[in-house]
Every structure is written in C-alpha cells, then in structure tokens.
Amino acid sequence: DNQQLMERFKIEAMTQARLNHPNIVTIFSFNKIDDEYIIAMEYIEGQSLKEMLQEKKQLHPAMALDIIAQVAEGLRYAHAHNVIHRDIKPANILVARDGKVKISDFGIAKILGSQGLTKTGMLIGTPWYTSPEQIVGREIDCRTDLYSLGVTFYEVLTGRVPFDSETNSEFQIQKAHLETPPPRPSIFNPEIGIQLEKIILQA
C-alpha cells in the first residue's frame, strides 16, 4: 500500500537487473502477481558476512582481504555503470560456500544523474557504515561506497565498528563519523600489518 516503498522496490529490481557481474547477485525477473510484487533473484548457498561475524567475531586477515577484494571488484563494475550502492555493510555481502562473494540489496542505490527517492538531503543507510557526505546531505559519488567498505573491512578484522555508541544513539554515531578519527584497527587486532591498516584508514 506504500507507493514510495513500491517505487523503491521497482528501482531495486531495475537497477540490479542492469548489473551483470560475478560479485553481484543476479536479478532474473521482476513481476506482479495479483496485488503483490516479487523479485526473482539468484540463490546463494552460504551466509551473509554479518552472520559470519556473529559466529567468528573477526576473520583472519587473508580471508578478510579475499572477501573485501571481491566486494571491491563488484563495486568497481557497479560504479563503472553509474550505480552507487549507498548501503554497503556486512548484512548486504553474501559469501557462498565455495568462497564466491556477492553484493546484494541495491534497494537504495542511486543511479547517477537521476532524480528520485534517494536525492540529496535524504539520509538512507545504516548509521555505523554511513559516509560523512551522506550524513550532512551532500551530493555523493562512488567514494561513499568505498568509505562504507572501509568501515566493513575494519569490522571484519577487529570484530567492532570504528564508530559506535553505548546507547545506540544515531546522533552520537553520526557525530563521530564527522568529527572523530577512527582508532587504529591494529589496536584491536595486532595481526593487521601497517600496509593493511593504511588502506583501511585511507578508505
């Protein structure tokens, strides 16, 4: 019954159906059956990165690097096709049993240059992974996904996000993204080398 959600659902289907890459979940069809809309998509036998972290807390650097590199390949392809995901986080990264990694849920993606539901000033995403430019409502580009990927990489290696709040205050989390340098990830995981730490902090 919510027309705005319906529009977002259609945008997800159309946006993701345009993307054909080994590291992005494939959309097969978008249909209306009676009064219900459905997306038929590729089935991934495995689990989300969020579920993996709930089980293991943190991953070995080699495994983490492999997963993040595959996500980066998927994002490189999406960005080349003018699509920004806008909500990169462990829950939207699927890891198949054979180790293949797929990005899912382009439901809040913004096609560059189009006007629509996710225009400037509308904050959509998850506060722990949201880029500063999204928080302040500025125009975004592909770098917003790289920021969120950096936060995800940080969490995968340390078992914690760089910016958090004991009271789950969205305001405190957003303020930290804007004003506080992230703690060095090697403080929480000494196995992280200097080179890897530089990459994470740069992202």
Catalytic residues: 87
Q: Residues 180-201, buried b or exposed e (16+ Cβ, 10 A)? A: eeeeebbeebeebeeebbeebe
Residue type for position 140: I
- Please state, in angstroms and as integers, the Cα–Cα distance from residue 21 to each residue in 101, 103, 105, 127, following that order: 11, 10, 14, 28
Structure tokens at 102: 């797929």
Least Cα distance to 199 among 69, 37, 8 occurs for 69
